[in-house]
Amino acid sequence: AQSVTQLDSQVPVFEEAPVELRCNYSSSVSVYLFWYVQYPNQGLQLLLKYLSGSTLVKGINGFEAEFNKSQTSFHLRKPSVHISDTAEYFCAVSDGYSGGYQKVTFGTGTKLQVIP
Amino acid sequence: GAVVSQHPSRVICKSGTSVKIECRSLDFQATTMFWYRQFPKKSLMLMATSNEGSKATYEQGVEKDKFLINHASLTLSTLTVTSAHPEDSSFYICSARPWDSNNEQFFGPGTRLTVL
């Protein structure tokens, strides 16, 4: 079974400051890892994903994440946030095929609040 | 590319009526579509997985007779909430996996269902 833990439900940060949103996962097999962003009353948009290869993954809107297998973490970072980054961020894990189809498990989300 | 639409975006209905939500992949063929439910301030809960031309696979605890899923074509899946009750009020999000991808899903914008 796979699971995702996002310990921080809310993260307030001042505009132009750096931010890190934490994500830890558990899985019995190799994994694919994702970060999604959700703006109010909208669906999810993929920020970045780790499938294999380099552990540092760069995504859209200046975000990046680092896959750390030994710590089973996939923390999301941005060096300087903007007001427009205010949104809910979901970490997700997939162990590839399970029973013939991909199954993705989402964390509970972290609300990033950028303060002017 | 990889756009998924949902219709309607919002729906309000009376208790006891049925509501159909459509999920369409606009520019790709999706052999698999997923239906999620998102409660306020909560994560996404996978309800079911539908494969084109076959019966949907429901997650544990999801009533298949209440949430009818049809995946009639490679670009369309529908979720029908039958005999809706106020506790069915939620944000429903679909996603679609392209036929040539085994690790990425593209999400629709969601449908806000309110049952009075």
Please tell me the predicted confidence (pLDDT) of residue A51.
83
Mean pLDDT by 10 residues, chain A (116 residues): 89 97 86 90 87 90 94 96 96 69 82 96
Put simply, the answer to whether B107 touches A44 (Cβ < 8 Å) is yes
C-alpha distances in Å from residue A101, one per residue of A37, A105, B104: 23, 13, 11
Whether A43 and B93 lie within 8 Å, measured CB to CB: yes
A104 with B107: Cβ contact below 8 A: no
Higher-pLDDT residue of A1 and B87 is: B87
Please name every residue paired with B112 in a beta bridge, in sequence order, or none if there are none: B10, B91
Q: Kindly state the percentage of chain B with pLDDT values over 70.
A: 97
What number is the average pLDDT over the span B68-73? Answer: 90
Chain A: closest CA distance from residue B45 (Å) = 8
SS3 B74: coil
Nearest to B102 by CA among A58, A94, A80: A94
Q: Which residue has the tokens 């992949």?
A: B25
pLDDT of residue A99: 46
pLDDT at A97: 54
Check CB contact under 8 Å for B103 and A90.
Answer: no
What lies within 8 Å, CB to CB, of A89 at 6+ separation is A21, A35, A36, A37, A38, A47, A76, A109, A110, A111, A112
In 3-state terms chain B splits into helix, strand, coil percentages (rounded to 5) of: 5, 55, 45
* Amino acid present at B86: P
Residues with Cβ < 8 Å from B64, sequence gap 6 or more?
A: B48, B56, B58
Q: Which positions in chain A touch B43 (Cβ < 8 Å)?
A: 90, 106-109
More confident residue, B15 or B43: B15
Q: Does A97 touch chain B (CB under 8 A)?
A: yes
pLDDT at position A22: 97
